[in-house]
Amino acid sequence: MLMHRILIHDDVGQAFVELALVLPIFILLLVGAAEVGYLAYVSIEVSNAARAGVAYGAQNHATASDTANIQLAAQKDAPNITSLTTPIVTQVCYCSPSTSISCASAGTTCLSPSHIIEYVEVQTSAPVNTVFHFPGIASSVTFRGYAIMRVEQ
């Protein structure tokens, strides 16, 4: 009976030793998962911001050339990402099927039967510092978003 009690007490000590060995690894896994989740969130927000800006610009020819509001739409779509840089907006025009022309020229026309096809491109980027700094892993990452959409005719 006395031997049985001694074995029970030894098991409790062994459990604490195992906990002390496993707990740091478990905490590191939790911290890593939280960091990856945060970086995934920022990546999605940066991509969605580009998509929101291009969606605004693709409504019609007037909004396609409204660079300030395209940038504003992109920035408003990612309000939680404070490091989002000013989006780069580009207007691209083609004479169908593939001849590039200037969108800025008033009265630009294409030879018949071709017609002008207009696109809006938005590029976003956001440098992000990681919350936790691990040795050997970069402490800053830059996420980029890109979207292109044809303007409604």
pLDDT 10s digit of each residue in the chain, 153 long? 555 555 555 566 888 888 899 999 999 899 989 999 999 999 999 999 999 999 999 999 889 989 999 999 999 999 999 999 999 999 888 887 666 677 765 556 777 777 788 899 999 999 999 888 878 878 899 999 999 999 987
The pLDDT of residue 13 is 80
Tokens representing 84 are: 């989002």
CB count within 10 Å of CB 16 equals: 9
Tokens representing 115 are: 């017609």
Say what the alpha-carbon torsion angle 93, 98, 100, 103 is, to the nearest 10 degrees.
-20
Q: Is 150 helix (H, G, I), strand (E, B) or coil?
A: strand
The pLDDT of residue 86 is 93
The pLDDT of residue 109 is 72
Residues in contact with 127: Cβ distance below 8 Å, sequence separation at least 6, in sequence order: 83, 85, 140, 141, 142
Question: Tokens 């998509």 belong to which residue?
Answer: 51
Quote the pTM value: 0.78
The pLDDT of residue 43 is 95
CB count within 10 Å of CB 85 equals: 15
